[in-house]
C-alpha cells in the first residue's frame, strides 16, 4: 500500500515484484559495467528512475546477498540477522536483514540459482561479477589468500556506510 507520505520504495510500500525487478536491473548494470564504481552504478540506477535511497540499497545489497550463498558454500556457519548503520548522532543501529526487500529478493534469486542452475537471467559470469563487488567477498578473499579457512566461521554484520539508519529503516 503506497500513500503520498511514503516513497514508493520504502520498506512498507515495496512489494516483492518491484524488489525483484530492482535486483534484475542492478544485475544488468553491474554485469554490463564491471569496472563501474558504486557511485557510477548508483547514477545508472537513478537514470532508470530509481530513488537515491533505492539506488544506494541496490548497489550495496545485491552484491552482499549474492556473496552470502558463496560464503555458506565456503564453510561460513553463521550469517548475521542484521546490518549496522549509523544514526544522525553517529551511533550504531541494528537494521534487520528481513526488512530489506532488495536484499531478500536478491538472496532468494541467489538461492534459486544455486538450487536450479544458471540461467539466461543470471549466468555464472554475472553472478561472479556481482558477488565479487561485495565487502563480504573481499574480506573472505583476503582470509583465503592468507591461507585461512572459513569452515565454521561467523560472518560479521555488514556496516552500511552509504546509508544512514533512518534511510535503511524506511
User: For 149-166, how does the pLDDT look when each residue is reduced to its tens digit (9 = 90+)?
Assistant: 999 999 999 999 889 999
The model's confidence at residue 98, banded by pLDDT at 50, 70 and 90, is: very high
- Supply the pLDDT for residue 7: 44
The model's confidence at residue 12, banded by pLDDT at 50, 70 and 90, is: low
User: Is 54 or 10 the better-scoring residue by pLDDT?
Assistant: 54
Please give the mean pLDDT across all residues of the chain: 90
CA distance 58 to 145: 28
CA torsion 90-93-97-101 (nearest 10°) is: -60
Give the sign of the dihedral formed by CA 12, CA 17, CA 21, CA 26.
positive
Closest CA to 154 of 44, 57, 80, 54: 80
- Supply the pLDDT for residue 6: 40
- Supply the pLDDT for residue 19: 95
- Supply the pLDDT for residue 170: 75
The number of C-alpha atoms within 13 Å of 154 and in the hemisphere containing its C-beta is: 5
62-73 average pLDDT score: 96
Residue-wise pLDDT for 24-42, tens only, equals 999 999 999 999 999 999 9
Asked whether residue 48 carries a pLDDT value surpassing 90, the answer given is: yes
CA distance 46 to 72: 32
Runs of H (alpha helix) within 74-162: 101-116, 124-131, 135-145
Q: What is the DSSP letter of 116?
A: H
What DSSP element (H or E) covers 57? helix 52-73
What DSSP element (H or E) covers 52? helix 52-73
Residue-wise pLDDT for 106-142, tens only, equals 999 999 999 999 999 999 999 999 999 999 999 999 9
Amino acid at each position: 500500500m503506497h500513500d503520498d507520505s511514503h516513497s514508493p520504495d520504502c520498506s512498507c510500500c515495496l512489494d516483492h515484484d518491484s524488489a525483484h525487478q530492482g535486483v534484475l536491473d542492478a544485475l544488468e548494470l553491474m554485469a554490463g559495467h564491471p569496472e563501474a564504481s558504486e557511485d557510477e552504478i548508483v547514477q545508472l540506477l537513478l537514470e532508470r528512475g530509481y530513488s537515491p535511497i533505492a539506488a544506494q540499497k541496490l548497489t550495496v545489497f545485491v552484491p552482499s546477498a549474492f556473496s552470502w550463498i558463496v560464503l555458506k558454500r565456503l564453510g561460513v556457519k553463521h550469517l548475521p540477522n542484521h546490518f549496522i548503520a549509523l544514526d544522525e548522532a553517529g551511533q550504531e543501529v541494528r537494521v534487520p536483514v528481513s526488512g530489506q526487500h532488495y536484499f531478500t529478493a536478491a538472496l532468494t534469486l541467489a538461492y534459486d540459482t544455486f538450487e536450479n542452475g544458471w540461467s539466461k537471467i543470471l549466468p555464472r559470469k554475472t553472478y561472479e561479477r556481482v558477488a565479487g563487488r561485495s565487502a563480504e567477498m573481499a574480506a573472505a578473499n583476503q582470509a583465503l589468500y592468507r591461507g585461512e579457512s572459513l569452515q565454521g566461521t561467523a560472518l560479521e554484520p555488514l556496516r552500511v556506510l552509504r546509508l544512514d539508519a533512518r534511510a535503511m529503516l524506511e
